[in-house]
Amino acid sequence: MYNPAFSSRGSGGYPRQSANQAWKQITMATIRETLDQLISDALSQVSGIADCQAILVPASRPEFGDYQANGVMSIAKQLKKNPRELAAAVCDRLESGELVDHFEVAGPGFINIHLSDNWLASRATALLDNQAELVQQTARPETIVVDYSSPNLAKEMHVGHLRGTIIGDSLVRILERLGHQVIRQNHVGDWGTQFGMLLAYLQQVSDDLDSLSTELEDLEAFYRAAKEKFDADPEFANQARNSVVRLQGGDEQSLMLWHRFIEESLRHCEAVYDKLQIRMRRSDLRAESFYNDSLPGIISELEKQDLLTVSQGASCVFLPEFQGKENEPLPLIVQKSDGGYLYATTDLAAIRFRATELAAERVLYVVDARQGLHFQQVFAVARAAGFVAPECRLEHVAYGTMMGKDGKPFKTRSGGLIKLIDLLDEAVRRAFDLVSARSPELDEETRREIADKVGIGAVKYADLSKNRTSDYVFDWDSMLALDGNTAPYLLYAYTRIRSILRRQEDGAEASITATSAIAITTAEERQLIVKLLRLPEILQTVATDYYPSHLCTYLFELAGLFMRFYEACPILKAEPPVRASRLALARFTAATLSEGLDLLGLETLEQM
RNA sequence: GCGCCCGUAGCUCAACCGGAUAGAGCAUCGGCCUUCUAAGCCGAGGGUUACAGGUUCAAGUCCUGUCGGGCGUACCA
């Protein structure tokens, strides 16, 4: 399901322009946008219908050219005209300027667009010295808050946190690359009843604050032990509840202990972030407890607006669009019957903070799909209460559950959750074994470095490359596979290019770009260039639908096209002008792969 | 019960506001290394897109129903 909230597609609002002007603007827009604009306008002029949509997409088959316009046929239908004739009339109106070699009518009324070889080559050449210009900054930067990762500090990060952390981080990188102002928010769980239990247990096992680090070394085991005692020992359970009350009452000793605990737990998270190369900093931390003081205000505001109903002792907001079992109205409970606040209350406070203090125009929640109803309710209540302006977009960027190979949620054999840090260590270990088997000639330190990047990259890429909303099967063998749409394949493609470039540099030759111009001499070169120039289109797509898998597919196809080029076209052995051109193309590809991988959060390497 | 998501090749997955002959990888089979890293490339086989209707010039995609699966559904997060 693509975001229904984002419906501002189409080309309305652009000024009309002649074909000749359009070519000059190509550096400002993607090829696709330029062609879309051009053909949409021509279609409007020919049909007399305002704001026609050309529906421009990459050609579905190579013989159909580079792009195709699908929009003529539905317009012809509206006009009761022959679609092929209408398409022909549109083509007549289009000039084949610098960008396009020719347009042609095809099939039932498609317009196929064949880009000019000269334009492609000169565009690629022009980008050689300043490749960053391939991806333009957006004309309308937005302030976008991204809530992602957000683990619960009571426990250690486990596999359930992996997807949100990886996907969120990639989305952030992509949005930033396009020029948006992104504000990360790590909404960690650092408050609530389980902390009473943990603090009570901590006090039991150790009076000595200095030994706290040792006690919490294995947070997961610590939590389990505390929980066991809580369930088995009524007296301890009582102490735990008292501990919560003291903590919430602002007792200094309790708060200090709590701070130490949170600090220790955060260190665990940061170790995972470091290993995963996640760009989440302390300054991005906005824990649940941050909103504690604003929770009473949320309740009173809801009350003031007559949104609050007390039901079975709990303070609720009932909205007509939410129904539960037996068509009973379904509440969003914002205050428990014992007076305590909940997840929903904190989320409402966070929404208000993000919309007002952070001035967000979009807020993305990269959170498990199972919380879909929760966010629907929270968003609806926030809007009803006016906590966000109507034009501020709130989007739940949902992701599916991580499954084991058996199709059940990913667990250890004993049924426990797998610690994320252990999973990552295993990834690196497996990668090390692979590298050692494949490249025994490399020294151990080099193999360790390679294993680190390949192992972590494999875990991240396996996740990113799959449909975000589907449940996803975690499988070591397929993610570390050497072929297919995997991190090792892409990283290998990159190292091959680097290897060529190194050889060229060793030849003491001047920089590639000084003298070289990219020329198209084969179909493989041409396909590669067309693909390279499409990067900005893909990034735009990901920035609007939040599916990093589109970027993965693009990079996989790009790497595949390079491999084909590599097999078909000698580079270093080519004659000088062609040699320089192919070297430049190789360098362009390497840079694009590197940039794309970086936007996914993967590090490249020089050799494998 | 109701709501959300899903059902595509033996397996894991694609398919860009509906578009031309539904594509990759794995697995299977067959080719390519004295030549820039074979962790690669080329080729072959493999499909009633769960099922039944409907809308449309055009449906894997939209609508209705059926079957199957996952998740959610009042004081956890």
Which residue has 């007559």 as its token pair? A306
Nucleotide B56: closest residue by CA–C1'? A74
Given a contact cutoff of 8 angstroms between Cβ atoms, the answer to whether A111 and A69 are in contact is: yes
Q: Determine the distance between A203 (CA) and B23 (C1') in angstroms.
A: 60
Reduce the DSSP state of residue A186 to 3 states and report it.
strand
pLDDT of residue A24: 41
Which residue has 């002649």 as its token pair? A18
Chain B positions with an atom below 7 A of a protein C-beta are: 1-6, 12-21, 24-27, 35-42, 56-58, 70-77
**For all residues of chain A together, what is the average pLDDT?**
89
Nucleotide nearest the Cα atom of A477 (by C1'):
B26
Q: What average pLDDT score do residues A350-374 get?
A: 96
Percent of chain A having pLDDT more than 90?
A: 75
CA A520 to chain CA centroid, Å, is: 34
How does residue A236 score in pLDDT terms, banded at 50, 70 and 90?
Answer: very high
Q: Determine the distance between A57 (CA) and B56 (C1') in angstroms.
A: 21
Rounded Cα gap, residues A608 and A185, in angstroms:
36
Rounded Cα gap, residues A605 and A454, in angstroms:
9
Higher pLDDT, A27 or A416: A416
Nucleotide nearest the Cα atom of A373 (by C1'):
B72
How does residue A515 score in pLDDT terms, banded at 50, 70 and 90?
Answer: low
Statement: residue A63 has pLDDT above 60: yes
Q: What average pLDDT score do residues A406-411 get?
A: 79
Q: Is the pTM of this model over 0.90?
A: yes
Q: Determine the distance between A308 (CA) and B49 (C1') in angstroms.
A: 48
Rounded Cα gap, residues A24 and A42, in angstroms:
17
Bridge-based pairing state of the strands A402-403 and A472-473: parallel
Nucleotide B73: closest residue by CA–C1'? A324
Q: Determine the distance between A322 (CA) and B1 (C1') in angstroms.
A: 15
Nucleotide nearest the Cα atom of A408 (by C1'):
B70
Rounded Cα gap, residues A451 and A438, in angstroms:
12
Q: Determine the distance between A567 (CA) and B29 (C1') in angstroms.
A: 23
**Token pair in block for residue A357:** 């203090």
pLDDT of residue A110: 96
Statement: residue A13 has pLDDT above 60: no
CA distances from A189 to A131, A289, A291, A310, A498 (A): 42, 8, 11, 27, 44
Rounded Cα gap, residues A414 and A433, in angstroms:
26
Nucleotide nearest the Cα atom of A57 (by C1'):
B16
**Token pair in block for residue A27:** 């550096």
Nucleotide B39: closest residue by CA–C1'? A482
Amino acid at residue number A249: G
How does residue A28 score in pLDDT terms, banded at 50, 70 and 90?
Answer: low
Q: Determine the distance between A28 (CA) and B34 (C1') in angstroms.
A: 50
Could you tell me how many residues make up chain A? 608
Handedness of CA A308, A309, A310, A312 (dihedral sign): negative
Q: Determine the distance between A480 (CA) and B42 (C1') in angstroms.
A: 24
pLDDT of residue A211: 74
Given a contact cutoff of 8 angstroms between Cβ atoms, the answer to whether A568 and A522 are in contact is: yes
Nucleotide nearest the Cα atom of A556 (by C1'):
B24
Q: Which of A6, A14, A100 lies closest to A50 in space, CA to CA?
A: A14
Rounded Cα gap, residues A56 and A26, in angstroms:
16
Given a contact cutoff of 8 angstroms between Cβ atoms, the answer to whether A164 and A368 are in contact is: yes
Rounded Cα gap, residues A133 and A211, in angstroms:
54
Nucleotide B21: closest residue by CA–C1'? A61
Contacts of A472 (CB under 8 A, 6+ apart): A163, A400, A401, A402, A403, A463, A466
Given a contact cutoff of 8 angstroms between Cβ atoms, the answer to whether A551 and A174 are in contact is: yes
Statement: residue A417 has pLDDT above 90: no
Nucleotide nearest the Cα atom of A547 (by C1'):
B16
**Token pair in block for residue A313:** 């002792």
First to last CA, chain A: 38
Q: Determine the distance between A587 (CA) and B23 (C1') in angstroms.
A: 29
Question: How confident is the model over A284-298, as pLDDT tens digits?
Answer: 999 999 999 999 999
Q: What does the H/E/C string look like for A212-272?
A: HHHHCCCHHHHHHHHHHHHHHCHHHHHHHHHHHHHHHCCCHHHHHHHHHHHHHHHHHHHHH
Nucleotide nearest the Cα atom of A32 (by C1'):
B16
Q: Determine the distance between A172 (CA) and B66 (C1') in angstroms.
A: 43
Q: What average pLDDT score do residues A375-391 get?
A: 96
pLDDT of residue A328: 86
Q: What average pLDDT score do residues A409-431 get?
A: 87
Statement: residue A2 has pLDDT above 50: no
